[in-house]
Amino acid sequence: MAGLMAAFGNFTHAVVRGVPTSLAKEALRTDNLDVDILKAKREHELYVEVLKQKLGLEVIELPADESMPDCVFVEDAAVVCGDTALITRPGAESRRKETEDMKRVLSGLNLNIVEMTDESATLDGGDVLFTGREFFVGLSKRTNQRGAEILADAFKDYAVSTVPVTDGLHLKSFCSMAGPGLIAIGSSEHAQKALKIMQQMSDHRYDKLTVPDDIAANCVYMNLPSKGHVLMHCTPEEFPESVKVYEKLKDHMLIPVSNMEKCKVDGALTCCSVLINKKTNV
Ligand code: GLY
């Protein structure tokens, strides 16, 4: 397990997908907010540029598909850990087709593909928090117990615990990993309650980084050989108070990335990429 932890956050590849124009009107959303589609596209281009240019990942870019308004949120279509990729069965029927291209791309990377074919199972990658030691799976409007069981079967090296998601779209709508053993968590009552459940269910003592805004707790952590600890997080324009918390992380290379428009359709930073460490499968 120590060896596995050493590789936590170490990624070589990312799969992303373009923003379809249909996202503006047709993407699923909790609140009825209008999206500026040009801004959303620009925002996403900058996100991809960070992965590619700044962090040097090999980025595989799927083209946007207008018939799939939520397709930019690739994280929901697959969970990749080590050399295994679980192709999910997304909770929203309108999103199920997104998994086909994801399966093709991940097969091309020679990952071991496990498909969630059970029609009683649903799981969105946004509900899956991998800590490097174990998985927490949010039971939400999108993910059910059977989905969590199939994930546990796919990743047998790790413990899998479920956490009720009582508010917000996904588990990672209010938390994510900000470093090895460090959980970023929102301040709302339901976020704090979920954290308490995760702490109770784990043998490990996680550190926590509490930010005032729930969605700002969704950040992208990497540990890259050439850069060390890297954190993509919200911008001061979006969440000034939460950024002040991130700025206390002195060992991390901090990269603010705007996500204002995609956020209006419940898309957080982790939603926009599937990160892979290809070195683990050679
Ligand atoms: N708009 C992201 C989702 O609802 O799945």
- The pLDDT of 1-10, averaged and rounded, is 71
Whether 13 is catalytic = no
Q: Work out which ligand 1 atom sits closest to the CA atom of 124.
A: 5
281 found inside a domain: no
85 found inside a domain: yes
- The pLDDT of 170-185, averaged and rounded, is 98
Q: What pLDDT does residue 4 have? A: 54
Whether 81 is catalytic = no
Binning pLDDT at 50, 70 and 90, where does residue 282 land? very low
Summarize pLDDT for 207-253 with one digit per residue, the tens: 999 999 999 999 999 999 999 999 999 999 999 999 999 999 999 99
Number of domains in the chain: 1
107 found inside a domain: yes
Q: Work out which ligand 1 atom sits closest to the CA atom of 30.
A: 4
63 found inside a domain: yes
The string of DSSP letters for 166-216 reads -SSSSGGGSEEEEETTEEEEE-SHHHHHHHHHHHHH-SS--EEEEESSTGG
Please say if the pLDDT value at position 1 is more than 70.
Answer: no
282 found inside a domain: no
Largest CA distance in the chain: 46
* Average pLDDT of every residue of the chain: 96
Which structural domain, as residue segments, surrounds residue 179?
Answer: 2-276
48 found inside a domain: yes
Q: What pLDDT does residue 279 have? A: 77
248 found inside a domain: yes
SS3 content of the chain, % helix, strand, coil (to 5): 35, 25, 40
Domain with residue 192: its CATH number is 3.75.10.10
Q: What pLDDT does residue 262 have? A: 98
Q: Could you tell me if the CB of 266 is within 6 A of ligand 1?
A: yes
What pTM was computed for the model?
Answer: 0.96
Summarize pLDDT for 7-43 with one digit per residue, the tens: 899 999 999 999 999 999 999 999 999 999 999 999 9
